[in-house]
Amino acid sequence: MTPAAPAAVILDFGGVLWNMRWDVCGELEAAHGLERGLVFSTLYRSETWQAIERGHGDPEAWRAEAHWALEARAGRRLPRLHDAWRAAQGPIPENVELVRALRSGYRLGILSNADRTLRARLRRGLAIHHLFDDIVCSAEVGMAKPEPGIYALACERLGLPPGACAFVDDHEPNVAAARAAGLRAVLHRVDRGDDLRRQLAAVGVTPSA
């Protein structure tokens, strides 16, 4: 029997609604003679970030520590490259418009590994917070993707079983974990030219005419 179409769409924030500008990150590294991936890894591949995304620690201290780690790896003083990278980021307009189009036909949720500023960014940066039935921020719930429990929580808070939910993320381990949890998961990479509307249609999600 063909499974019923999804009744909900759960979206990651960074990389799905918010353009992380990986091209800018790479350009900054190249301009300063840094190993590729170093700006990202010093910011998001640290024990301090793992604590921040679960609601512990000071975000300002985390950013300062990331800068010091970057300088230590480079062996010299550097400008605040993490800040320059973050300043280049912004909304993904076509995906934001797609969310608006999906609103009338689906329950919508956010599931993001993020610090406690996530709701403010959805409100002030994108002005779309009101389109979502629920927002699961890792820093608020003390869990982070790809932990299985956070997927179950996101579905439960929408009042639906995992099989009735489509999930979109830009990080393969998070997508694989969502599939293992029973969601219809989609890997979306805007930096590779992926078309989210087409990807969601492939799993049975289409906006109302």
pLDDT tens digit string along 165-198?
A: 999 999 999 999 999 999 999 999 999 999 999 9
Main-chain phi, psi angles of 6, to 5 degrees: -60, 150
**pLDDT bracket for residue 209 (50, 70, 90):** low
128-135 CB contacts, 8 Å cutoff, 24+ apart: 128/17, 128/96, 128/99, 128/100, 131/99, 131/100, 131/103, 132/108, 133/8, 133/107, 133/108, 133/109, 133/158, 134/109, 134/110, 134/158, 135/109, 135/110
pLDDT of res. 31: 97
Predicted TM-score of the model (pTM): 0.95
Please state the domain extents for the chain: 8-20+90-202, 22-88
CATH architecture of 8-20+90-202: 3-Layer(aba) Sandwich (3.40)
